[in-house]
A and B are shown apart, each in its own frame.
Chain A
Amino acid sequence: MSARRSLLKVVAGLGLTLPLSRLAVTRALAQPDSKAARPQPGDKLIRAVAGAPGSALTPATVPAGGPPVIAYPMDATTGAVRDGSRLNQVLLVHLEPRDLAEETRARAAAGIVAYSAVCTHTGCDQWDWDARAKTIKCPCHFSTFDVKDAARVLDGPAPRRLPALPLNVSGGVLVVAGGFVGRPGFQQGGA
């Protein structure tokens, strides 16, 4: 953050007379803080827990049939964990591929589906698992989502589904295959 502020100061100091430098600085500014950046293709996933989160998650580390595991993406090159924003939390559930809706199955890897772990209602990020129905319920205001089918809203005040996160398996570990399908988190209303 302070580095970005310094850059801004540099920009202000250089004024409008150095277009090439400005271009370079602008490009630098456009690169978001890697810890706050949303999941990127190629990112690995690690458990979102305080203390030692362990190593990159493999399909076997996500319990078959649930409950969900909450994870953060990790830059595969630098090892930087993208825990700079609550919106980067990813909910992983291990289900039978045959139980998944087609669209969901296409984004899954080894039966593991991934979604934004932040409720689209008002931003809560903890979940109650219904093992029988294979649904997740937000304990804050009781919105329920169907993780078998694109996390569509089954009940409660959430206005929209949880954005999905496409996955792959590479080198034996779970890898992000694309960005969130949709904007994670709540959307501020207002006239």
Chain B
Amino acid sequence: MSKYMTFPEAAFKDRDLLIAALEEIGCSYIRQGADLEMGRYYSEQLEQKVPIVIPRGVIGNDYGDIGFELTESGEYRPVMDELDRSRALNGRFIPKLRAAYNERVIAKVAARLRGTIDRSVEGGVVKIKVRY
């Protein structure tokens, strides 16, 4: 069954960093606005209005658009068809987006502290040291 769901385990506070992270993981087309309607391609997909939309098909999301809703606490949370969760970026859409977003967070923190960054990858873990 195809329906839009919110995935609360992923939350993104900074809109600019979120857009940059989306671009990095391959979202070549991103719609931005206030109350953008997510497409309804199946009858079970209820109406959703969100400020950020990745249109259907851009990143392997064959069942519907991927949206980001803005919560009362000021966080953007992904809304996507439950079937796309295992299809978009071969099911790696949310983990890859979180990793790309978090790397941008670290770069911004380092810039604010006027620090230096030392990055390495060990066994599937990205290690970043910020000295300031």
**Do chains A and B stick together as partners?**
no
Taking beta carbons and an 8 Å cutoff, which residues of A are in contact with B?
A: none
Taking beta carbons and an 8 Å cutoff, which residues of B are in contact with A?
A: none
